[in-house]
A and B are shown apart, each in its own frame.
Chain A
Amino acid sequence: MPTYYYLTLSFVLFLVGTSGVLLRRNALIVLMGIELQLNAGNLAFLAFSRQLGDQKGHAFAFIIIALAAAEAAVGLAILVALFRSRQTINLDEASLMKR
């Protein structure tokens, strides 16, 4: 397959993730949208890596996956703390840092 098919797929995936992050109010779904964006980046890295025959893109993708794991751990912990302090994960109701 030509590389631009994969790049277009990656771009559409990033767009879907971005629209989820921007439009949804549920903080859990917003975190899932961020995961989709990271995966779109990974797909672009792997497509370029295959095109150029250089495996450094694979190392980058590997590091991004570890980064996504760290992001999910911290993000979900913040969500749990948010839910403890105000019984909601609706982002419109959680616009202040203080209680």
Chain B
Amino acid sequence: MQPAVGDYIVFGLLAAGVIGGAVFTMTRRNPVTAVMSLVGTFFALAATYASLSAHFLAIIQILVYAGAIMVLFIFVVMILNREEVAPVALRGLGLRSLGVAAGIYLVIIFARIVRVNTPSDLPVPSETFGTVASIGDILFRDFLYPFEAISLLLLVAVVGGVVVSRSHKKEVAAEQAAERRKIVEELQRHDFPALADNAAEPHGSGGHH
């Protein structure tokens, strides 16, 4: 099946959207703008998946990536939004242009290799290629064990995320209370009961017991 001219135009538009969105994401100073252009990149990628007859994956891409993951990103960006003073680590025009040149060289070499080693025409896909029914069949027959493992991984990741990101105020308060108790004991051992009373009162709330 040789591609028509329209196919090339559509692919060119999608590729421009994907690469442009990705470059825009990586070069923005403001993280909110970066997240928004990343959402645009994921929409263009979903369209590219659909052009590869992967309709189910295209829908999942929009639901999970552009929906769920990006909402998570936006929440965190809004919690920790800080404008950067100097966003890029690499200094000096020489190093940067060297990096760009190396990247372009890599792309050319890679494109040559895959061009020689992959057939130049795509086979016509079967009727059921990329449908929910056939992917579900594979997922629950051949990939049942990885599917269950990934559900366990998601559970662990969510619990781990909650544990890592929760506030540690209570632990810090308990640590400080233990410290204070130690000081009180020390002072009492050295026969300074008045000072010990003072130390036992955390913020000088006044009044002797």
B interface, size bucket: 35 or more
Minimum Cβ distance to chain B for residue A31 (Å): 8
Minimum Cβ distance to chain A for residue B84 (Å): 6
A94 an interface residue at 8 Å Cβ cutoff?
no
Using an 8 Å CB-CB cutoff, how does the interface string of A1-45 with B read, 1 for contact, 0 for none?
A: 111111111011101110110111110110111011001001100
B73 an interface residue at 8 Å Cβ cutoff?
yes
A interface, size bucket: 35 or more
Assembled-state Cα–Cα distance A73/B88 (Å): 25
The 8 A-B pairs at the shortest CB distance, nearest first, are namely: A70-B157, A20-B26, A77-B161, A77-B165, A80-B165, A4-B114, A77-B164, A16-B22
| A29 engages B118 (CB within 8 Å) | no
List A residues at the B interface (Cβ < 8 Å): 1-9, 11-13, 15-17, 19-20, 22-26, 28-29, 31-33, 35-36, 39, 42-43, 46-47, 49-51, 53, 55-56, 58-59, 61-63, 65-74, 76-81, 83-84, 88-90, 92
| B61 engages A65 (CB within 8 Å) | yes
Assembled-state Cα–Cα distance A46/B46 (Å): 11
B153 an interface residue at 8 Å Cβ cutoff?
yes
| B125 engages A76 (CB within 8 Å) | no
Residues of chain B within 8 A of A88, CB atoms compared: 82
